[in-house]
Structure 1
Amino acid sequence: MGTKFKGSKKEVQALDSFIKLKRASESLSSRLISEFSKWNISESQFGVLETLYHLGPLCQKDLGDKILKSTGNITLVIDNLEKRNLVERVRGVEDRRFISVHLTSEGKKLIEQIFPDHVKRITSEFSVLSPEEQDALGKICKKLGKKTEPTSK
C-alpha cells in the first residue's frame, strides 16, 4: 500500500518509497527482535552487547553513536545491563574522567549464545533477496543514511 497523498509525482514517489522502506524495516525488526524476549533483553541492550563483543570496550558516547541512541537513552540501557552484571563501567587509569564500558564474562557468555541464532535468522530473512539484490540494498541504504546535502523545499 502506497501513499494516498495527492502531491507532485516526485513527492508521491518519495512518500511511497519511504512507506515501503519503513514498513519493511519495521516488519523485519519485529520478526528478528521477538527472540530477544526469551533472553530478557531489549533490542538496544542486544545492540550494546553485540557492539562491545565485536569492537571491544567503548566510551558511552561512542557506544551510543554506534547503535544510534541518545546519551540519555544509552545511559539507561547501560545501567540496566550493569544491574544484570552483563557490562561494567571502567574508569581510565591515566584519566579518571574517562569511563569505558566493557563486557563482563557473563555478558560475553550471553552474546555468544544469542548471536549465532540471530545471524541465522537474518540470513534466513534476507534469503528472499539474491546476493546482487542484497548488495544493491546495502548501497541504497548507505546512500540514504549518509545524505548530507540540504533538503529541498
Structure 2
Amino acid sequence: MPNRYAGTEEERGALDAYVKLWRAAHAVEVAANRHLSEHNLTISQFAVLEALYHLGPLSQRQLADKILRSSGNLTMVIDNLERDGLVSRERVPTDRRIMSVTLTPRGQQLIGRVLPEHVANIRNIFRLIPADAVITLTTLTRTLGLAVTQHPDGEPLREKARDRDRTGMLKT
C-alpha cells in the first residue's frame, strides 16, 4: 500500500522503503524464530546462547553490544538463563566490576540442538527469493547499516564516485 504522506517524492520514497524494510525484517524475524518457543527460549535468550556458542565467554556489556540489546534488559535475560542452568556468571579476577557469562554444558547441549534448526529456518526463508536477490539484499542492508552507524545524525553520505563500485553500490 503506498503511503499517504504529503511530503516530497524523496521523502515518500524513503518512508516507503523504511516501512517495507521494517515489515520484511519483522516477518523474517517471526518466521525464523517461531521454533524457539518449543525449546522455552525467547529471541533474546537464543541470541545470548548463540553469541556465547560462537564467541566464547563474554562480559554482559559485550553480549549487549553483540545482540543489540540494552544491558539493563540483558540482566534479566541472563538471570533467567542462569536460573535454567544454561549459563553461569562469574566476576573477572582482573576487574571485579565485570561479570563474565559462560555457557554451561547444558547450555552448550541446548544450543547445539537448536542452532541447526534455526539455520534451516533461515535458509528456507531466503530460498523464497532468487539467490542473486539474496546477494543484492545483503549488499544493500550492509551498506545502509554502515551508513547509518557512520552518520548517526542522519546526514546523507556525500561520497564521491570512487566510493561506489561499478554497479553503483557503495563500496563496503
Above 0.5 in TM-score?
Answer: yes
State how far apart, in whole Å, the 1-side matches of 2:73 and 2:10 are.
36
Segment drifting more, 24-33 vs 130-139: 130-139
1:140-151 matches, cutoff 5 A: 140-146=140-146, 147=148, 148-149=150-151, 150-151=153-154
State how far apart, in whole Å, the 2-side matches of 1:28 and 1:97 are.
38
How far the C-alpha of 1:129 sits from its partner, in A, is 2.5
Q: What TM-score do you get using the length of structure 2 for normalisation? A: 0.84
State how far apart, in whole Å, the 1-side matches of 2:56 and 2:82 are.
16
Can you give the 5+ residue segments of structure 1 that lack an aligned partner in the other structure? none
1:51-62 matches, cutoff 5 A: 51-62=51-62
How far the C-alpha of 1:30 sits from its partner, in A, is 1.1
Bigger radius of gyration among the two: 2
Equivalent position SS for 1:129: coil
State how far apart, in whole Å, the 2-side matches of 1:13 and 1:49 are.
38
Given residue 67 of structure 1, which amino acid in structure 2 is its aligned partner?
A: I
Segment drifting more, 2-11 vs 76-85: 2-11
Match of 2:25 in 1: 25
Equivalent position SS for 2:96: coil
How far the C-alpha of 1:130 sits from its partner, in A, is 2.7
Residue correspondences, number: 153
1:22-101 matches, cutoff 5 A: 22-101=22-101
CA RMSD, 1 decimal: 1.5
State how far apart, in whole Å, the 2-side matches of 1:95 and 1:51 are.
22
Q: What TM-score do you get using the length of structure 1 for normalisation? A: 0.93
Asked whether the equivalents of residues 88 and 101 of structure 1 are also in contact (C-alpha less than 8 Å), the reply is: yes
Segment drifting more, 137-146 vs 16-25: 137-146
Equivalent position SS for 1:99: strand
How far the C-alpha of 1:50 sits from its partner, in A, is 0.4
Given residue 98 of structure 2, which amino acid in structure 1 is its aligned partner?
A: F
How far the C-alpha of 1:152 sits from its partner, in A, is 4.6
State how far apart, in whole Å, the 1-side matches of 2:74 and 2:143 are.
26
Deviations 1:43-71 (A, max 9, x none): 00000000000011100001000000001
Q: Identical aligned pairs, as a percentage?
A: 41
